[in-house]
A = this chain, B = another copy of it.
Amino acid sequence: MKRILILAGALLGFAVGAGAQHARYVDPFIGTAGMGHTFPGACVPFGGVQLSPDTDMIPHNIKGEYQPRTYEYCAGYQYGDSTIVGFSHTHFSGTGHSDLGDILLMPGTGEIQFVPGTAADPDSGYRQRFSHDTESAGAGHYEVTLADSGIRVELTATKRVGVHRYTFPKGEEGHLVLDLDHGIYNYDGKTLWAEVRVVSPTLVTGYRITNGWARTNYTYFAMEFSEPVLEYGCKDKAPAYYQGGYGRYARMNDFPEMAGRKLVAWFKFDTADNPRLTVKVGLSATGMTGALKNLRAEAEGKSFDTLRASAEQAWEQELACIDMEGSEAKKTMFYTSLYHTMINPSVYMDVDGLYRGLDHELHRAEGFTNYTVFSLWDTYRAEYPLLALIKPHQAEDMVASMLRHYEQSPHHMLPIWSHMANENWCMTGYHSVSVLSDAIAKGLKVDGQEALEAMVSTSSVPWYGGLGEYIQRGYVPLEKTSTAASNTLEYAYDDWAVAAAAERLGNESVARKYRARAGYYRNVFDPSIGLARPRYGNGSFKDPFDIKQTVGQGFIEGNSLNYSFHVPQDVRGLMELMGGDRKFIANLDELFGSDLPEYCYADNEDITADCLLGGYVHGNEPSHHIPYLYAWTSEPWKTQYWVREIVDRFYRPEIRGLGGNDDCGQMSAWYIFTVLGFYPVCPGTDQYVLGAPCIPHAWITLENGHTLEMKATGLSARNRYVKSVKLNGKPVDRLYLTHAELLQGGTLEFEMARTPAKRRGIAPDTKPYSL
């Protein structure tokens, strides 16, 4: 009933506020200090615009001299900073590699400056000081006062339009600086070319092409001002040799066609008389025409307040799919996490379906919405399974987008880590096969034959990360790549996902072949230590070998102690390899119970003391399923203990509350599943492994109209253990639920207790899937 009322409110255009029962708990500042790498700015669910303040952008050096602090600014903002450089339109949410920060606007008064200046000396550029006292943000909006000028800044967004409202101090002449050289992951020369075109006193179009983490990134814009520009001009900080007949290109004032490598444009307005200026910036990857089309379709004729209300409503509508009870702090953590699962992937096409493909040509999306930002090494684990459950329509479109990527790839591969029409080849594995297989397992609308073809093709590319050798000899030799052992483990799981899909699609020959490959994980286990260990081509294991060190031991961003558990497809097999139930439990216990010496992660950006639980690394993804592996053992109750520890330690509703990079929603999706009491340990199966809920009561409204109620009776700080589980009143002895069971809705009731029910779920028929 509550949900219906909210929806009706949204449909009738009620101002959000009292009605925004879910969105109001979103706190975009969570994760903006430390290593969360979230941004506080304005966006809408899965929107292509993330309009947010950049507080710095420590540039790389084109000579390849790495600047360690670049990592901190993956999302452009660090809460500890005291100056704002400006407001740019594109940001990743929680990544561990940086890029974007496109199309920066900064309002100012007085003399126009063309460089950002430094944090140490803010007066040396257009950047300005600010105080968090003047700053606020929520789902779909952000505001701050720039201290040096007194300008009040309010931001909101639609899917494809960033909306700024600047209120200049009374009687002051104000201007905007548009810095097309600014960027996150910047270096001298990142912007290959930029153009700005003054179409009329209230409309400016343009674009920039950058060579950053996305090798070739086209960002077009159309910018509409609520007040006419009085004067404008630009500075090209790297002027081209030819400046037009009579140097006309070089005219710095009122010349409506600007272009350059390092272009900074400025626009003056009569803010003394009209202190309030609204700027709507439509974005597109297809052209200025596309950007203008997007601007017109989504923002034309609408006031800032209307657009802000729409953005909040859009969040309210998406977040309302899960109702919950709990403390204000729990609600804040829950809805902020849910919010973080719906920023990336982001829409990457115009309102009419035109988009830029991986081949950098324009394509028309027929029957689907094209998405980008596929951080697959992270998100195949829980983010996509979560969307498959609560946002199946969007998940289907993401799968369709991946299939178009495959179609456009000259490698004939699905995305590895792709954004803005570029494959950046980051991380390892080919985990889009997991996403596709999971979508098929969960009954999403997917073209099964095309998906299987894409999965087989992707997993057959010999030059990719030692895959040729893996196929030949059953493991990736260490000579081939420094991450040989984890590659082998990841490929084996991905291959299992291909096999599962083939089986579901009735293709037994593919299923057989890939089921065999799914067992290749065994080939990197050293029986002498009972752990995964990289091997050379001659079969010998790496020696010396450090099972705790996370760098240089054959595993990507992880150590053998954690990565050895990366066999979600065959936990039973893994247990045997490790020496059986007792030894497996001992290994898990030791992981959580021991320490990770600092030398083991000192050189690993993605692991900090903030995210360690003993030797278990929650801040980085490869370990996310590990707490649930007790389910296969004789001590399943230990899962219940550790998930509560993790939730309490690494998900605090504080600015520095996240235990690691949110990684495009993966960390948050882990949280959402876990606090609801179940987790998709092996995407590609239809099973969710039961853990222990951390919130007392929740209602998941599914797209099929059913509601699944989750009740954790007796839950408290002390009552973290599950005594019994009932689904629609019937006892569930199994340690898992199926997707079909969840889709039917009804009531899932956990009875919570202070002490563990040690006999629960130890019978073989209660165990989750294993190969």
- The interface of chain A, by Cβ under 8 A from chain B, is 60-62, 64, 185, 187, 190, 192-193, 195, 197-199, 205, 209, 211-213, 215-216, 240-242, 244-246, 248-249, 251, 254, 256-257, 259, 261, 287-289, 359-362, 410-411, 416-417, 423-427, 463, 465, 481
Contact = CB atoms under 8 A, between A and B. Distances in A.
Contacts of A195: 216, 360
Given A195-B360, A256-B410, A362-B287, A481 B60 contact: no
A411 B198 CA distance: 9
A109 to B, nearest CB: 28
B240 A211 contact: yes
Contacts of A256: 410-411
A255 to B, nearest CB: 8
A346 B193 CA distance: 26
Given A193-B209, A197-B410, A242 B254 contact: no
Contact of A64 (B241, B288, B463): B241
B410 A257 contact: yes
A245 B424 contact: yes
Contacts of A463: 251, 254
Contact of A244 (B249, B254, B257, B424): B424
Contact of A209 (B209, B288, B426): B209
Nearest to A61: B241
A484 to B, nearest CB: 12
Contacts of A287: 361-362
- The interface residues of chain A, by DSSP majority, are classed as loop
Contact of A410 (B198, B259, B361, B411): B198
Given A425-B244, A425-B245, A425-B246, A211 B197 contact: no
29 contacts: A62-B241, A185-B242, A192-B192, A192-B193, A193-B209, A197-B359, A199-B410, A211-B240, A211-B242, A211-B259, A215-B242, A216-B259, A242-B424, A244-B424, A245-B417, A245-B425, A245-B426, A245-B427, A246-B425, A246-B465, A246-B481, A251-B463, A254-B463, A256-B411, A257-B423, A287-B361, A288-B361, A289-B361, A289-B362
Nearest to A65: B241
Given A62-B241, A193-B193, A289-B361, 9 more contacts: A197-B410, A198-B410, A199-B410, A211-B240, A244-B423, A244-B424, A245-B416, A251-B463, A289-B362
A241 B251 CA distance: 32
Contacts of A216: 193, 195, 259
A199 B62 CA distance: 30
B199 A213 contact: no
7 A-B pairs closest in CB distance: A245-B425, A256-B410, A245-B426, A248-B425, A244-B425, A192-B193, A289-B361
A199 B410 CA distance: 6
Contacts of A60: 241
Nearest to A464: B248
A376 B261 CA distance: 29
Contacts of A417: 245
A17 to B, nearest CB: 41
A197 B411 CA distance: 10
B410 A212 contact: no
A215 B259 contact: yes
Nearest to A242: B213
Contacts of A426: 245
A767 to B, nearest CB: 37
Contacts of A288: 359-361
B425 A187 contact: no
Contacts of A416: 245
Most buried by B among A245, A248, A416: A245
Nearest to A377: B245
Contacts of A242: 185, 211-213, 215, 424
Nearest to A187: B241
A431 B464 CA distance: 58
Contacts of A193: 192-193, 209, 211, 216
B244 A215 contact: yes
A131 to B, nearest CB: 35
A67 to B, nearest CB: 11
A215 B64 contact: no
Contacts of A240: 211, 215
